Copies of this chain bind each other. A is one copy, B any other.
Amino acid sequence: MFRRAAITCSDRLSRRLVRRVLRAIGSPSIRVVLWDGAEIVGSDAREVARVLIHDRPTLLKLVFHPELHFGDAYTDGRIEVEGDFSQFLETVYRAMAAAPQRVGRVRARITQWINRRHRNTIRGARASIHRHYDIGNDFYRLWLDDEMVYSGAYFPSPDATLEEAQAAKLDYVCRKMWLKPGEHVVEIGGGWGALALHMARHYGVKVKSYNISHRQTVYARERAKAEGLNDRVEFIEDDYRNISGRFDALVSLGMLEHVGVEHYRDFGAMMDRCLGPTGRGLIQVIGQNRPTWLNWWIERQIFPGAYPPSPRQLSAIFEPWEFSLLDLENLRLHYAKTLRHWLARFESSADVVREMFDERFVRAWRLYLAGSAAAFATGSLQLFQALFARPALNQLPSTRAGLYESIPALGIRNQRAELDEVGGT
């Protein structure tokens, strides 16, 4: 009898704690089911998913810092989600965005302290990049497009395939920089080489492409050789801080995220060294509307040392050297759509991935891909494409109209803008 009362009391406490967690994340319309079958709903709205919490320690960790511990608990299977996983994440992201200040001072300090471990020094950056990008080309080939482009695509029309959208993105970037045959281009963070090869193939430029992922560099070099482009494209395994030489254009897609705001001065100084008096460049980077921490779990488990800048923070790579910002485009819904494509392909290869790694890996990457899609779809993350140039450069395209003509060479038809949600289902 005493024992029963204790359990009831403890159950009551658990439910109170769940309610507290739900309130802290803005009361999303989800149902939480505890290990003993108790059910608690987040709001009166129709629930989009059921979240099963399998034990009390997991709940206690969630109380301490939901954003911090959900990821690990989901990875371990101590938390499971019934219902559409992507829709569940979007619902939570939307609720969190609408909730007032979520992270208290103590938790922010802890996050700060842990983030400090991942310092983007030359050595630290190499370790962080190795951990994510060197886990296997075969793995990435399972769910990326044919060209293996691992950054947000550009969908010229709502029904474009992932392959078309990545090709369109590569070409869009080249046209934004109005590349001309014979020019010299430096790329920072070249991935598996798709953009560098595209530039050499279609625009007749010479490219030096830098990367600190060993396996990506080896792979890209093989592609250049197989295509007979290795006289025009050089893949170099080195840090952006060691780049030398003068170039007509500089391009970097999805790499600045790994630099960290405290190193933007180094990055800008490198751009200033590399670009001649008529130089221009394009940076594509995941960003935020205002400075807050990257999702703690992503930073720890997926992208050590990563940080998405706000426009103000981004300006720190331009202003000290008087670079002129020519065009900044926000393509966040295109990234949401890209991630949904990746997630769908990932899920259809889940068994292969499980063979390669294990179930925990599958769950962690599912959360990373679906969570990122939700973050872009709900406006927690942005995708900035920033075009810049030396201040006195006047040989510019007079308008942006040329970017939107059809490109028969790539089989891309004339783009029509439609007033619909790119990210829509």
Contact = CB atoms under 8 A, between A and B. Distances in A.
A260 interface: no
B311 A289 contact: no
A290 interface: yes
B404 A399 contact: yes
Interface of A: 94, 97, 154-156, 158, 178, 289-291, 310-312, 315-316, 318-320, 322-330, 332-333, 377-380, 382, 384, 391-405, 414-424
A395 B379 contact: no
B401 A416 contact: yes
Given A289-B323, A324-B330, A417 B399 contact: yes
Contacts of A323: 289
A311 B315 CA distance: 7
10 contacts: A97-B391, A97-B392, A289-B323, A311-B325, A312-B316, A379-B394, A394-B424, A396-B421, A398-B418, A402-B418
B325 A319 contact: no
Contact of A379 (B156, B392, B418): B392
What is the interface of chain A mostly: helix, strand, loop, or mixed?
loop
Contacts of A324: 289, 330, 332, 379, 382
B329 A319 contact: no
A156 B327 CA distance: 17
A174 to B, nearest CB: 14
Contacts of A320: 290
A419 to B, nearest CB: 6
Nearest to A391: B379
A397 B415 CA distance: 12
B310 A319 contact: yes
B379 A400 contact: no
Contacts of A421: 394-396, 398
B401 A415 contact: yes
A318 B330 contact: no
A87 to B, nearest CB: 15
A326 B289 CA distance: 10
A206 to B, nearest CB: 20
A318 B178 CA distance: 30
A180 to B, nearest CB: 9
Contact of A312 (B290, B315, B415, B418): B315
Contacts of A154: 399
